[in-house]
Amino acid sequence: MNIATEAQVYTPEVKKKKKFAVGQAIKYIVVILVSLTMVLPFVWMLSASLKLETEIFGFPIKWIPETFRWENYKEVWTAVPFHIYYLNTLKIAVITTILVIINSSLAGYAFAKIKFPESNRLFFIYVATMMIPYQVMMIPQFMLMKQLGLVNSHWALIILGAFNPFGVFLFRQFFLSIPDELLEAARIDGLSEFGIYWRIILPLSKPAIATLVIFSFMHSWNDFLGPLIYLTSDHLYTLQLGIQHFITEYNTEYSLLMAAAVSAVVPTIIVYFLAQDHFIKGVANTGIKG
């Protein structure tokens, strides 16, 4: 470490610095350009949501609305029961996420840290089901939910979200990277398996938990097909369904559509921001041993 920095000192300083500065400048320009293309549609959405309908089209694009029409938001939230859609989606996303964390981490622990004969075979079945498109399972799943009396209730969506093999896969990979010696030491100390899971594994897995929180929350939040099939009554609708409702009813009113979309996106960004630091570390440990 020291040697490396010292080596730098002895190189012709001016030249190096210039080269460094140019390279750095190019890097910044590229990164900023890419970021802009990523954000542009989002910004457009934001700007359109505050515009008059007639202002939206046309080229060149007016990025800043002539007058800020906050009424668009007011109209979105009053024209349809948007706050109900919001609460419904929040409820589904939060409960799903909590359940998925609990049952996936338990299962992931069994697959990663307990040696039993069917482990690999069973795990393979889990992974294989991830390759089957959701559309295949929808009809039998619907019939099953119907038999259980869960159609037209949020529980159908919560249950389907909570038993996602992805979570098990993620936790298994993460737990595999935790050294076995740590567990052995705890076993010798007389800690039960559950104790190990609860006291040692989970505290070490905060990044993995954060990762799954984001994925699971976002998946529930943005799910369209599930609510479309399972929810019948308007008062149970989720945001994604609510917005769809909007498109058919206000076919060309893009300003309202955008206001609805902006309103819908806020919580996912908050969740991403809160979990961002853990997030990156969490995936690091799961990705490697894949």
Partner 1 sequence: MKPGKAVKSKAIRRNRITAYTFLLPNIIGFLVFIFVPVIASFCMSFTSWNGFGNIEFIGLDNYKQLLKDTNFKISFINSILFMLISVPITLLISVLIAIALNRGIRFVKVFRTAVFLPYVTATIAVAAVWQLIFNPSMGPINGTLMKLGIDSPPGWLSSPSWALISVSIVYIWHSVGYYMILFLAGLQNIPDYLYEAAELDGAGPITKFFHITLPSLSPVLFFTTIIGVINSFKVFDLIYVLTGGGPGRSTHVLVYDIYNTAFKQFEYGYASAMAYVLFLVILIISIIQFSGQKKWVNY
Partner 2 sequence: MKKRFSLVVLLLLCFSLIVGCSNGETEKSSAKPKEEKSSNEKVSLKMAVFPADEAIFKQGYENFKKDHPNVDITFETFPQQQYYEKIRMQLSGGEGYDLFTGQMDNMVDTGILAPLDKYIKDSGVDVSGYGSMYDTYKYDGKVLSLPYRKSNWMLYYNKTLFDQKGVPYPSDDMTWDEFREVAKKMTSGSGENKVYGAYLQQWPQTWYMGAVQTGASIIDKDLKPFKDALQTRVDLEKDGSIMKWSEQVSTGAHYNAAFQKGNIAMNIIGDWHVAQLRQGEKEGTLKFDWDVVPIPHPEGVAKNTSLALPVSIMMNKNTKHPKEAFEFLKYMTGKEGAELLAGAGYLTGYMDKDVEAAYLGDGSQKPKNLHYFLETKEYPEYPMLPGVKNVVVEQIFKQEGELALIGQKSVDDTIKDITKRVKDEWASKYGEK
Going by the DSSP 8-state scheme, the letter that residue 254 receives in this structure is: H
In the complex, minimum distance from the CB of residue 123 to partner 1, in angstroms, rounded to a whole number = 10
CA pair distance 68, 162, nearest whole angstrom = 41
Q: Name the binder of 21 from partner 2, partner 1, none, CB < 5-8 A by kind.
A: none
Residues 6+ apart with CB under 8 A from 66: 51, 52, 55
Binding letters toward partner 1, positions 230-269, x by CB under 8 A:
---------xx--xx--x------x--xx--xx-xx--xx
Of 3-11, 203-211, 229-237, 269-277, the window that binds partner 2 (rule: CB under 8 A) is 229-237
In the complex, minimum distance from the CB of residue 56 to partner 1, in angstroms, rounded to a whole number = 8
Burial zone of 88 (CB within 10 Å; 0-12 exposed, 13-18 middle, 19+ buried): buried
Q: Would you state the structure tokens that stand for residue 101, as one six-digit string? A: 């964390």
DSSP state string for 171-240: HHHHHHTS-HHHHHHHHHTT--HHHIIIIIIHHHTHHHHHHHHHHHHHHHHH--HHHHHH--SGGG--HH
Per CB under 8 A, which of residues 141..170 are in contact with partner 2? 142-144, 146-147, 151
Four-point Cα dihedral 96, 97, 103, 107, nearest 10: 130
| Total residues in contact with partner 2, by rule CB under 8 A | 26
Of 90-98, 140-148, 161-169, 174-182, the window that binds partner 2 (rule: CB under 8 A) is 140-148
Q: Name the binder of 203 from partner 1, partner 2, none, CB < 5-8 A by kind.
A: none
Give the type of residue at 225: L
Contact 42, 62 (CB under 8 A): no
21, 22, 33, 61: residue in contact with partner 1 (rule CB under 8 A): 61
Q: Does 232 help bind partner 2 (rule: CB under 8 A)? A: yes
60, 117, 179, 190: residue in contact with partner 2 (rule CB under 8 A): 117
159, 228, 265, 284: residue in contact with partner 2 (rule CB under 8 A): 228
Counting Cα atoms < 13 Å in the Cβ hemisphere of 137 gives 11
Q: Does 121 help bind partner 2 (rule: CB under 8 A)? A: yes
178, 200, 247, 265: residue in contact with partner 2 (rule CB under 8 A): 247
- Our CB check for partner 1 shows the closer of 31 and 185 to be 31
| Angle value at C-alpha 66, between 60 and 70, nearest 5 degrees | 125
Binding letters toward partner 1, positions 141-180, x by CB under 8 A:
x-xx--------------xx-xx-x--x------------
CA pair distance 234, 189, nearest whole angstrom = 56
Q: Does 203 help bind partner 1 (rule: CB under 8 A)? A: no
